[in-house]
Structure 1
Amino acid sequence: MTAAGFDAELTGAGTQPFLVEFWASGCGPCKAMAPVLEEIAAEQAGRLRMGMVQLDHAPETAGRFEVMTLPTLIVFVGGVEKKRLTGALTKAQLLTELEEFGV
């Protein structure tokens, strides 16, 4: 997502949890997270919105949210950051972290 696209998605998510991954093309742990996020997106469609911000294309968005470690996953609800996770996680770990959001 670009900076403009990010803001549109963030405001369009309403009260549904919106999970955003901040990643970069040269990041090994980010690549490891890709299949995990794809599976969760497919399984949680309708309950969880997901997006990706590639730092190479939207460094200003990463700076705005003070992303210092990759990958960084941020859960937004109602446009407000509710949870931040860093580093590669397994599918089970990520689902456990998302339980509080009804996922």
Structure 2
Amino acid sequence: RFLGHSFKSSQRKANKLLPLKISRCFNSMASLLDSVTVTRVFSLPSSISSISAAPSVSGRRVSTVEFRGLKASRSLVSQSANRSSRFTRGVRGIVCEAQDTTAAVEVPNLSDSEWQTKVLESDVPVMVEFWAPWCGPCRMIHPIVDQLAKDFAGKLKFYKINTDESPNTANRYGIRSVPTVIVFKDGEKKDSIIGAVPRETLEKTIERFLVE
């Protein structure tokens, strides 16, 4: 009888303590989830749309009361994202303005039908870049030729010709490698340079034919 009474008394005490233990355990879990969620928020990309959904643990939706820290963090990240966005827009604006002040001339592309009048009948020397869309080194030399066209405007004419679209002209001058740059003067081929050479190489060639 004494053992039975003791067991019932212990059980009643355990039942009284159980809600308190569960409450403490739940609060500890909520605090832990708060800290983990904040860490993930700051590791997210600029978009924070994924935070809008209510958090859940193992498929069970959790009340937002325990996630006050998450709400504050969301606001903090939003402010940080806005500041970052404004800064990025400002930087882009500065870069665009800098590019506009030094913009090179875009050298026009020729076709086979334009070759005679644009190149061979030109009254000034002409520099022609033979290129192809699949050619990596061609993309390296494009901006160099564009900048030279701006620097020597009025003294020399510059053109590009796509060897895939105008194969007749490429075959006529024996183009086997691209990029190939050829200088024409008085309708005749004067010099050719093969490969993505530095600006100085092309500039020396140009100056040599301007002096003649």
**What TM-score results when the alignment is normalised by the length of structure 2?**
0.46
Residue matched to 1:51: 159
TM-fit CA distance, 1:64: 0.5
Within the candidate set 151, 166, 181, 1:73 is matched to 181
**Pairwise mapping of residues 1-103 of structure 1 onto structure 2 (< 5 A)?**
1-14=110-123, 16-102=124-210
CA contact (8 A) 2:120 2:188 kept: no
CA distance in 1, matches of 2:168, 2:177: 15
- Deviation string for 1:11-67 (max 9, x for gaps)? 3312x1100010000101111001100100001000110111101110111001100
CA distance in 2, matches of 1:102, 1:80: 15
CA distance in 1, matches of 2:146, 2:176: 23
C-alpha RMSD over aligned residues = 1.2
Question: Alignment identity in percent?
Answer: 32
TM-fit CA distance, 1:97: 2.2
AA in 1 matched with 2:194: T
Structure 1 residue ranges, 4+ long, deviating more than 3 angstroms after superposition: none
CA distance in 2, matches of 1:78, 1:52: 18
CA distance in 1, matches of 2:117, 2:174: 19
Q: Which has the higher helix share?
A: 2
Aligned pair count reads 102
Task: Please state whether the residue corresponding to 2:134 is helix, strand or coil.
Answer: coil
Query: Which structure is richer in relative contact order (CA contacts within 8 A, separation 6 or more)?
Result: 1
AA in 2 matched with 1:2: S
**What TM-score results when the alignment is normalised by the length of structure 1?**
0.93
Task: Please state whether the residue corresponding to 1:63 is helix, strand or coil.
Answer: helix
Deviates more, 1:91-100 or 1:29-38: 91-100
Task: Please state whether the residue corresponding to 1:89 is helix, strand or coil.
Answer: coil
Gaps of 5+ in 2: 1-109
Greater gyration radius: 2
Task: Please state whether the residue corresponding to 2:140 is helix, strand or coil.
Answer: helix
CA distance in 2, matches of 1:62, 1:5: 13
CA distance in 2, matches of 1:64, 1:11: 13
